[in-house]
Amino acid sequence: MIEMLTVTTVIGILASVTVPTLISRRVAANESAVVATMRAVSQAQFQFQASGYVDANNDSGFEFGSFGELGGLDLLRGTTERVTKPLLSASLAKTDVDGHATLHGYLFSLFLPDGSGKGVVATATNMPSIDPFQARDYWTCLAWPIKVGTTGNRSFFVNQHGQVLKTKKAFYSGKVSVPPAGAGLVGVGKDQINGTSLATNSVGADGQFWIMVH
């Protein structure tokens, strides 16, 4: 009995040390993978616009795309065609009913602007709300942990500037606490994405402190 109690105690001590370490390593690995994914989204958007895939109002001003369009899953706006070669992975192209993609223990959401510059979750259903003029200049993408403290801590933001930002502290988590479209911007409302100033090492439109990712 004494030996069993001793073994149980030792196992408990080892678990109390090992489990937090494993979680910490997983969080770090997930966050590194998310940064790479955000940069991939940025590159895909630049390629998408440069290739002239979408010109919804036929004014020769090419627009940015949704996850579904970038990944070749959805038809390009105003056409019966898809991108000739997917620019993003199928994991990001396929979103749930809320427009969220799941990857690396994180939720991702991509926004395009409506006529007022407000960010609209870029799903096939919402495409009629996207303003073709504003979608030539603006988009945002956010990523936040499915379960803060377990799958990740910090949230991430990128837009047409291509610079990835991260929150200073853990805040957003899963479907309970979702970041707004313009979270990492300054000078606009938290739901607006038609801003040009990033919250680089400062408080963003969402009230959180954002830091540049190097």
Predicted confidence (pLDDT) per residue in 50-78, tens digit: 999 999 999 999 999 999 999 999 999 98
CA proximity to 158, closest of 198, 120, 191, 201: 198
- pLDDT greater than 80 at residue 181: yes
CA–CA distance, 198 with 115 (Å, rounded to integer) = 21
Q: What is the pLDDT of residue 53?
A: 96
- pLDDT greater than 60 at residue 163: yes
Mean pLDDT throughout 169-190? Answer: 97
CB 170 within 8 A of CB 153: yes
Q: What is the pLDDT of residue 24?
A: 83
Residue 163 has a CB neighbour count (10 Å cut-off) of: 17
Residue with tokens 């996850």: 67
What the block records as the tokens of 183 is 């979270």
Mean pLDDT throughout 81-92? Answer: 94
Predicted confidence (pLDDT) per residue in 1-43, tens digit: 555 554 454 444 444 545 567 778 999 999 999 999 999 999 9
Q: What is the pLDDT of residue 1?
A: 55
Mean pLDDT estimate for the chain: 92
CA proximity to 168, closest of 151, 188, 146, 184: 184
Q: Where are the domains of the chain?
A: 2-47+89-212
Q: What is the pLDDT of residue 7?
A: 45
